[in-house]
């Protein structure tokens, strides 16, 4: 393997010695990729992995060019997206006409105003689910952070998508199926050139997960269609929606969009919030300010949507969390026509890798980029920043639909937990990001759940 970077002026490759990155690529591919970006100082880098030779694009100007200015030339096609299509179908996470029509139908359901109308139910769901942590607080048994975050987020997202139309039992079958799909897809993502005629590790588990999701969703869709009423939940809205031709959406389209939105919404939020706990553990001064804000604003709870705008420091912590651990850490595109990015010629059919994880770590655009410091998001500094130096939610026409939902759901969840407990990390770090569809820690992060006594605001 060799890695070359090309400069705009001369369009020739310089080589970053492989021995500096190869051992790390095997052990910790996510940080190795970021390290390649850092060494290239924002220049376009070509990764030469034999059959697979993608371009790594990290400079904010270049990211903007790919995601926004010239977005029609860089499509979500090719070897990375193909494995996901087997789960997602033709949906909002695709391209072309199916994507366009899904985007038109879904966008109004995730505006700030629409999310506000769903927030009360979401807050109640989160609060009820967090009460279940009492049992762990009493017994002193630790919880698995990733599992717990996924359990809470799953219920909140299911409430938004399905209202009361799905049983708790069926809802709880979705998360493990997605989890199985997200982990079993690793081999395909790392070996994207492997043909589908060749069975690879993980394929069987992946297809079983697709079957479980279908078994849960199709009956729920058929029931919702029979009585879509005027409920606000997303499945009811999709059952009432009409396509360009004025006809109802097919069951398959509703399934594909629900699967895609569920996948985009739950795994990303849960994994983001999993990384919060080791960061707070390592930064007691940030944790203390966060506890203080939540104590002041929410007290003993429950946390409600009215609290969210007052949780300003909580939002800064979440913004910085998404800088260091953007769940959508890598999203590839395929160049449809020959193009030039930062002076480097890119042939049609090439894969272009966009990685907020790498861009968010560039010294050229961030002071002390590897440090966790929520203060960066105190409003002043933000205005001076290049728009594409920070893009945890992507950008351009494919920009994430779920930002407003995230910034209501995540503060509610963090405030609901911290108004009752002080979770403490009990497993030793460091925790390494693993290259799954969403950025997740390779090692288990266990938390002990310590209850707090309100009144004097002290840990019990």
Chain residues that interact with ligand HEM, rule: CB under 6 A: 76, 92-93, 103, 110, 261, 264-265, 268-269, 272, 322, 326-328, 331, 392-394, 398, 400-402, 405-406
**Least distance between ligand HEM and beta carbon 75 (Å):** 10
* Token pair recorded at residue 104: 């038109």
**Least distance between ligand HEM and beta carbon 345 (Å):** 23
Identify the three-state secondary structure at position 116: helix
**Least distance between ligand HEM and beta carbon 180 (Å):** 20
Distance from C-alpha of 113 to C-alpha of 383, rounded to nearest angstrom: 25
- CB nearer to ligand HEM: pick between 398 and 420: 398
Write the DSSP string, 234-277: HHHHHHH-B-TTSPBPPHHHHHHHHHHHHHHHHHHHHHHHHHHH
- Cβ atoms of 48 and 172 within 8 Å: the answer is no
**b/e string for 366-380 if b means 16 or more Cβ within 10 A?**
beebeebbbebbeee
Q: Which single residue brings its beta carbon nearest to ligand HEM?
A: 402
Collect all residues with Cβ–Cβ distance below 8 Å to 388 and sequence separation of at least 6. 60, 61, 63, 64, 67, 68, 359, 395
- CB nearer to ligand HEM: pick between 129 and 422: 129
Identify the three-state secondary structure at position 43: coil
**Least distance between ligand HEM and beta carbon 409 (Å):** 7
**Least distance between ligand HEM and beta carbon 98 (Å):** 11
**Least distance between ligand HEM and beta carbon 299 (Å):** 27
- CB nearer to ligand HEM: pick between 61 and 295: 61
- CB nearer to ligand HEM: pick between 21 and 158: 158
| Cα Rg of the chain (Å, integer) | 22
* Token pair recorded at residue 229: 């009423």
Identify the three-state secondary structure at position 15: strand
- CB nearer to ligand HEM: pick between 388 and 406: 406
**Least distance between ligand HEM and beta carbon 115 (Å):** 9
- CB nearer to ligand HEM: pick between 352 and 405: 405
- CB nearer to ligand HEM: pick between 171 and 328: 328
């Amino acid at each position: 393997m060799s890695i070359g970077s090309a400069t705009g002026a001369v369009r020739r490759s310089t080589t970053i010695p492989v021995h500096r990155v190869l051992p790390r690529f095997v052990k910790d591919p996510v940080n190795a990729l970021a390290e390649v970006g850092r060494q290239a100082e924002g220049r376009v880098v070509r990764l030469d992995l034999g059959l697979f030779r993608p371009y790594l694009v990290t400079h904010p100007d270049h990211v903007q060019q790919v995601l926004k200015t010239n977005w029609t030339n860089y499509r979500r096609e090719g070897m990375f997206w193909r494995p996901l299509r087997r789960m997602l179908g033709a949906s909002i996470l695709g391209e072309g006409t199916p994507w366009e029509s899904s985007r038109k139908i879904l966008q109004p359901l995730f505006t700030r105003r629409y999310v506000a109308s769903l927030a009360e139910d979401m807050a109640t769901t989160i609060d009820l689910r967090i009460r279940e942590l009492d049992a762990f607080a009493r017994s002193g048994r630790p919880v698995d952070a990733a599992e717990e975050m996924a359990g809470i987020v799953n219920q909140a997202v299911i409430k938004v998508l399905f209202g009361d139309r799905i049983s708790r039992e069926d809802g709880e079958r979705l998360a493990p199926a997605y989890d199985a799909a997200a982990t079993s897809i690793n081999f395909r993502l790392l070996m994207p050139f492997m043909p589908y005629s060749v069975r690879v590790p993980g394929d069987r588990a992946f297809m079983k997960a697709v079957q479980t999701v279908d078994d849960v969703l199709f009956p729920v869709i058929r029931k919702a269609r029979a009585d879509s009423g005027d409920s606000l939940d997303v499945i009811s809205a999709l059952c009432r929606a009409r396509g360009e031709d004025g006809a109802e959406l097919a069951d398959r389209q509703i399934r594909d969009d629900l699967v895609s939105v569920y996948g985009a919404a739950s795994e990303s939020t849960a994994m983001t919030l999993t990384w919060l706990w080791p960061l707070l553990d390592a930064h007691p001064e940030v944790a203390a300010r966060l506890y203080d804000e939540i104590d002041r604003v929410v007290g003993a709870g429950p946390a409600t949507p009215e609290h969210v705008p007052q949780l300003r420091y909580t939002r800064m912590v979440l913004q910085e969390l998404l800088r260091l651990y953007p769940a959508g850490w890598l999203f590839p595109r395929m160049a449809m026509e020959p193009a030039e990015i930062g002076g480097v010629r890119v042939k049609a059919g090439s894969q272009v890798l966009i990685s907020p994880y790498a861009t968010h770590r560039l010294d050229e655009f961030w002071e002390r980029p590897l440090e966790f410091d929520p203060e960066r998001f105190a409003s002043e500094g933000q205005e001076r920043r290049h728009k594409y130096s920070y893009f945890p939610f992507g950008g351009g026409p494919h920009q994430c639909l779920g930002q407003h939902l995230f910034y209501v759901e995540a503060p509610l969840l963090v405030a609901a937990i911290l108004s009752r407990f002080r979770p403490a990390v009990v497993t030793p770090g460091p925790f390494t990001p693993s290259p799954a569809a969403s950025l997740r820690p390779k090692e288990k992060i266990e938390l002990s759940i310590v209850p707090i006594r309100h009144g004097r605001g002290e840990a019990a």
